[in-house]
Every structure is written in structure tokens, then in C-alpha cells.
Structure 1
């Protein structure tokens, strides 16, 4: 078999694997949309109460000139806050792992920050930052921080002691061992925290915008609600879902590029 033939064979095999893995999800989505459309067509509920998928698509097309700039703003705020949370979360997790004083001082504060409802602190950010995107970015970063910190701590705590012993026996410093050995071993768990955070960043950004902003999906959603444009409310929801899915795919791609597939961690002798 030629190289081209082997490559084509592997590509076909991956395609078949993807179809087997995702067809139940696709079938479920198609079934829900079909039932939803049939039910609305049969019962004719007021469009202000619920819209059919076809009405949502039509409204989305009509409003695309205002939808995409608003979505871009929310996307920018969410990604910026998420990246800040990733960097700060890993550094805080490492610091708390290495220092009992840092743990005693910072971890209770991080825990308390997660119990605060967004609606109670958003007015403060409006006072501090006004209606500018910087306030929304900070809010996203604050709310996305905790899962990354916790999973970084837990991942580092779960690293077997012999990794450090071997590295330092070979002459490595504790700092080198921490950043080149421990973090690499804990990376899979850290990415778990990153995925948890990624699932909420755009919803957090849109909610913060809804409470006060100049533009963004939150403001766009508020305008749709105030004018009883129910199809557009569904549109904003679906756009947030799509952006979240894309971010999760990006996190997965980065994970695979940096530390490989989870299947690579399996012990071949365990089969």
C-alpha cells in the first residue's frame, strides 16, 4: 500500500469513528428540532410565547447586521477574561500548593468569591469600570478562576512523590521539578478545570452585559426581551451555546497539542 493509500485509510477510519461516536447526538438534535417544529405548526402558540425553529432562523437572518457585532463583543470579552483566568488560575494554584500561608490567606477568599451572585457584584463593576468591556472581562476572569485554581492544586497534590525524588536525585532544583515535572504530570487535571471554566465564560459575559453595557449579546438580548421578540431570545441563547462549544473544542485541541490524547496516558500493560 502506498503512503497516500495509508493516509486515506486512516482518514476514513477516523471519519467512521467520529460518525459512530456522534451520530446519537446528531440524531437527538434533529429529532428535538423536528418535534419542536411540528408541535408549533400544529398548535399555533403565540410567537411571543414560543417560536418555531424556522421562525428563529428567519429572525436571525433578518437581524444578522446587529447580531454579529454584538456576538463579537461578547466573544472578545469572554475569551479575554478566560485567558486571564487560565494564567492567573494556574499561578495561584501553584502558589497555594507551595505555601500553607498562601492557602490560608487566599483559598477562603476564592471560595467566597464563587458564592457571590453576579447580580450583587455587577453594580460595583459598573461603578468602577462604567459600561466599558474591561469590567465584563474582569467579571469573567473572577468567575472563571476558581475551577482552574482548584484543579491545579488537586493535580499537583496527586503527583506521585517518586517523580520529584527522581528529578532531584538527578540534580534538578525544586523549582525546575515543579514547572517541568509536576505541572506536566498534573496537566490533565488542570485542563479539566479549564474546561469547566470554559463552559461558563460566555454566559457570564452576556449576563454581565445584560446588567449594564454599551453593546454585546446581553444588551442585544435585553432589547429582544423588551420588544417581545421571542425568536431573537432563542437566537442569542443558541449563539452563546455555539461560542461555548467552539471554545471547548479549542481547549481540547490545545490539550491534545501540548500533552497528547487521554488515550496516550493509558498503561499498555494494563490491557
Structure 2
């Protein structure tokens, strides 16, 4: 209870800052008589969200499905790729630069290829979300495994554990905190990636919904979709943090074994 109370207290300044920002935003738009096509007031955005939810909700559901499935694939393949690259220095040296180069390409430059390969279907957006989401997880998996102190392996091997068992049950457990850092980075961008891919070519989803709002110059709807993406991202990051806490326990409970040396 004390830790929960401390976290709530810690979030109070953030809540106050958000409320103050929204109040200033609302007052500025109202008092300065800013055109609704330029920027919408928070109250207008909220009203537009409620009025258009019968179409906004289903569009958000499509993007949420693409993002969540792509994210789960990214976590699995990111960790697997990281483990393989960690175990094979030759493969790491040969393929890792290509993987890094692929991640630097802007989405707009490769989206046409995915449209050719997958068409306008949801599966293509899932693949794009997976490809762009797995890189930070793979990188943090490699770095996390490389940072595991050698004595963990020495103790496990001395107790009769095999190298494979030591890798999956010891090294990955020790590196898990750093791996979760990559997972959180991936979660922060997965829905934005999916919606951008939809914007470039899809039949449904928030990207198409945003495109329609832009074409009709309905600025409040653009903000509505943006805030829905932010809300979905926040929920996914909370889920990632919760899974970390359930699987690994509170971070503050872990002590550095080298602290007393």
C-alpha cells in the first residue's frame, strides 16, 4: 500500500500540469478567437470525439488490433533475434548492420512495397508494425545479455546446468529489466506506426479516419484520433509495466549483488 500511495503522490504534479495545460489551451482558443480550422479547443475535441465515436470507435479497434498483434510479434521475434545474435558473433557481425540499416528507412519509403505485397489488408499493417517494433527489443536483448556478469554463468555451470539452460533461465532473467526497456520503447511507437501505415494505404483504421478528417478540414477530428492513439499507447505501456512487475517483481526489491563488494 505504501508503494502504491507513493506512486500516486508522484503522479500528482503530472496531473496538475496536464489540467493546467488544457485550461490554458481552452482559454487561449476562446479568448483569442482562434479559427476552428487552425486549432480546436479541448472542449470542442471532446465534443467531436463523443459525436463521431460510432465511426471513430471501430476505426480505433482496427488500429488497436494491428498494433497489439504487431507488438506481440515484435516482442517474440525481437527477443529471439537478440538471443540468436548474442549466441553467434558471426551472424551478429554479418546481419546486425543490415537490420540497423533497415530500421533507419522511413516508413513512407517502404510502405508502397508492403502495399504491393499485402495490398490494403490488415495483415500488411501488422507486418509493418512488427518490423518497426522489433528492433529496439532485439537491441536491448543483445545489450542486456552482454551486460550479464560472468559469475551468474559460472555459478549455474558449476551446479551442473547446461549452457542452453543457463542462457534461457539465468542470463535472460538477469537481462530482463533491460529487455523490458526495449519493449517499452516499442510500445511507445507501435500504434503510431500502424496508423501511419494505414494513412499511406488501407481500407479501414485510424489512419484512414485521419485522412478523411484532414480532407474535410475538420481539425477537432484530427485531434480526436490523435488523443485516441495516445490513450491506446498509454494503455499498452501500462500493460507492459504491469507484466514486468508480475513477472520480475518490483524493481526496487532487486539488490545489486556487487553492492557490498
| Bin of the TM-score, shorter chain as denominator length | over 0.9
Deviations 1:123-142 (A, max 9, x none): 00001000001100000111
Q: Which of 104, 112, 136 does residue 101 from structure 2 map onto?
A: 112
Q: Which of 223, 233, 244 does residue 244 from structure 1 map onto?
A: 233
Aligned length: 260
Q: Which of 7, 14, 33 does residue 44 from structure 1 map onto?
A: 33
Change (3 A) 1:267 1:178: closer
Cα offset, 1:14, TM superposition: 4.7
Q: Which of 70, 73, 76 does residue 81 from structure 1 map onto?
A: 70
Summarize the alignment of residues 215-230 of structure 1 with structure 2, pairs less than 5 Å apart: 215-230=204-219
Task: State the partner residue of 2:134.
Answer: 145
Task: State the partner residue of 2:175.
Answer: 186
Cα offset, 1:101, TM superposition: 1.8
Deviations 1:125-173 (A, max 9, x none): 0010000011000001111111111100010001111111111111111
Task: State the partner residue of 2:223.
Answer: 234
Distance 1:15 1:107 in 2: 41
Task: State the partner residue of 1:55.
Answer: 44
TM-score normalized by the length of structure 1: 0.93
Task: State the partner residue of 2:12.
Answer: 23
Change (3 A) 1:205 1:65: same
SS for the counterpart of 2:203 is coil
SS for the counterpart of 1:45 is coil
Distance 1:58 1:248 in 2: 27
Query: Unpaired segments of 5 or more residues in structure 2?
Result: none
Cα offset, 1:41, TM superposition: 1.0
Distance 1:268 1:185 in 2: 12
Q: Which of 112, 117, 122 does residue 128 from structure 1 map onto?
A: 117
1:202 paired to 2:191: yes
Task: State the partner residue of 2:82.
Answer: 93
Distance 1:190 1:135 in 2: 26
Deviations 1:84-116 (A, max 9, x none): 110001011000000012102220111011110
Cα offset, 1:268, TM superposition: 9.5
Distance 1:205 1:269 in 2: 43
Task: State the partner residue of 1:3.
Answer: none
Distance 1:85 1:60 in 2: 31
Query: Unpaired segments of 5 or more residues in structure 1?
Result: 1-9
SS for the counterpart of 1:199 is helix
Task: State the partner residue of 1:6.
Answer: none
Change (3 A) 1:202 1:100: same
Root-mean-square deviation (CA), in Å? Answer: 1.4
